Amino acid sequence: METSQTQQKITGEMTIGEVVKLYPQCIEIMLSYGLHCVGCGANTMETLYEGSAGHGMPDEIFQEMITELNGAIVETQGQTLTITEKAVNKIKELLSKNHKEMYGLRIQVVKGGCAGKEYKFSFEEHPKEGDEVIVSGDVKVFVDSESGKSLHGSLVDYLESLEESGFRVSNPNSSHSCGCGKSFT
């Protein structure tokens, strides 16, 4: 455990809130292990280990979850936007369902929401002048230059659980987000 612990980015000492903010692609893994604290208001005060132990998770299962969490990490540093494979698949599915296979997904940061800014998603046939076009898998994502400043280094994932489903943006530039996770400052 000692050698693998030093190489891991996610450790038992991290708060659940830190993991949710930095690595939203890990939310479903935590849920699958019965760690439903991902949406709890106390997740910023409770470590992964404390939350797991509090829910009766044996240490060997906890270590298995930590290994799986670290395997799911997608690096986003230096990129304007990283789209997870799950998000790419959902974008393709939605484009096909709406008969817009040749379109792209526009992601914008607009004023609104309870924290001041929110994400807006829409389908567009072509990028606008000045847009950055991000190609991930078989999909195109359009980001205007102003939104790009706010989104730099962000990760777009698609989450599906009993409580909610939708695109989730993990934005290292946000200083605060509201409880719904859709609005930020």
Q: What is the CATH number of the domain that holds 45?
A: 1.10.3910.10
In this prediction, residue 147 carries a pLDDT of 92
* Same domain for 146 and 85: yes
* Same domain for 91 and 7: no
**Domain end among 11, 40, 71:** 71
Distance between CA atoms of residues 110 and 72, nearest Å: 30
* Same domain for 37 and 18: yes
Helix, strand, coil percent content, the chain, rounded in steps of 5? 40, 25, 35
Which of 12-16, 56-60, 82-86, 98-102 shows the lowest mean pLDDT across its residues?
A: 82-86
* Same domain for 127 and 59: no
Instruction: Give domain status of residue 63, yes or no.
Output: yes
* Same domain for 175 and 86: yes
Residues in the chain, how many? 185
* Same domain for 101 and 66: no
Distance between CA atoms of residues 169 and 155, nearest Å: 6
Answer with the residue of higher pLDDT: 162 or 168: 168
> How many other CB atoms are found less than 10 A from the CB of residue 78?
8
Instruction: Give domain status of residue 29, yes or no.
Output: yes
Please provide the DSSP assignment of 15-68 as one string: BHHHHHHH-GGGHHHHHHTT-GGGG-GGGGTSBHHHHHHHTT--HHHHHHHHHH
Domain span at residue 11 reads 2-71
Residue 180 has pLDDT above 90, yes or no: no
Distance between CA atoms of residues 26 and 19, nearest Å: 7
Specify the number of domains making up the chain: 2
Determine if the pTM surpasses 0.85.
no
In this prediction, residue 168 carries a pLDDT of 84
CB 179 within 8 A of CB 130: no
Instruction: Give domain status of residue 76, yes or no.
Output: no
